[in-house]
Amino acid sequence: MIKYLFITLALISGEESLRDQYKSASEKVIKEILGTGELREIDIETRREYYEFISGDDKSGSKVIYSSAKGRFEYFDYLIILNTKNEVSFIKILKYRSEYGYEISNKGWLKQFYNKPLRRFEYGKEIDTISGATFSASSLVDDINQILEYLQK
């Protein structure tokens, strides 16, 4: 019943961006990681939104990306922050919808991506596999690689 209520509300309210859906939760994270400033839209794709962080300090030019990736059955939404060198400095899973694979939300596992030189990540090599979340973890790695490739253009 609740699921149908949310679907109805979503249809009535129109299509919201990922950023609008998670604005209050992610603003706190962004402020904690980057400080005060504003997000300037770079590009919006079907499942991805790219923003540049603008402020008066050395973190200006960082990128904030809202994205969705597919686990085994459901999509999950996440926030990724890239520093001025386009290295991953923070990842947070914002909404995980499936019953299985939520282990990718583990902060310790996500830290494997942080502060590595700009390159393609390989699941099972420099990014550890994770039991019970093979599809989600692999999908997250692929999605992050797509983001990095996009930003290199």
Mean pLDDT of the chain: 84
Alpha-carbon distances, residue 84 vs 35, 62, 63, 79, 141 (angstroms):
14, 5, 7, 16, 20
96-129 pLDDT, tens per residue? 998 888 899 999 999 999 998 878 999 999 899 9
> Which of the four pLDDT bands, split at 50, 70 and 90, describes residue 10?
very low
pTM of the model: 0.81
Q: Which of 8-17, 51-60, 117-126, 134-143 has the lowest mean pLDDT?
A: 8-17
Range of the domain at 75: 18-152
- Overall number of domains in the chain: 1
Question: Does 145 reside within a domain?
Answer: yes
Question: Does 5 reside within a domain?
Answer: no
Question: Does 88 reside within a domain?
Answer: yes
Q: Which of 10-24, 35-49, 53-67, 136-150 has the lowest mean pLDDT?
A: 10-24
Question: Does 13 reside within a domain?
Answer: no
What type of residue is 19? R
> What pLDDT, on a 0 to 100 scale, did the predictor assign at position 65?
95
Question: Does 9 reside within a domain?
Answer: no
Whole-number Å distance between alpha carbons of 54 and 124:
35
Question: Does 8 reside within a domain?
Answer: no
Question: Does 51 reside within a domain?
Answer: yes
30-49 pLDDT, tens per residue? 888 888 888 899 999 888 99
Alpha-carbon distances, residue 104 vs 6, 14, 15, 55, 68 (angstroms):
25, 30, 27, 31, 13
Question: Does 71 reside within a domain?
Answer: yes
Q: What is the mean pLDDT of residues 40-63?
A: 88
> Which of the four pLDDT bands, split at 50, 70 and 90, describes residue 51?
very high
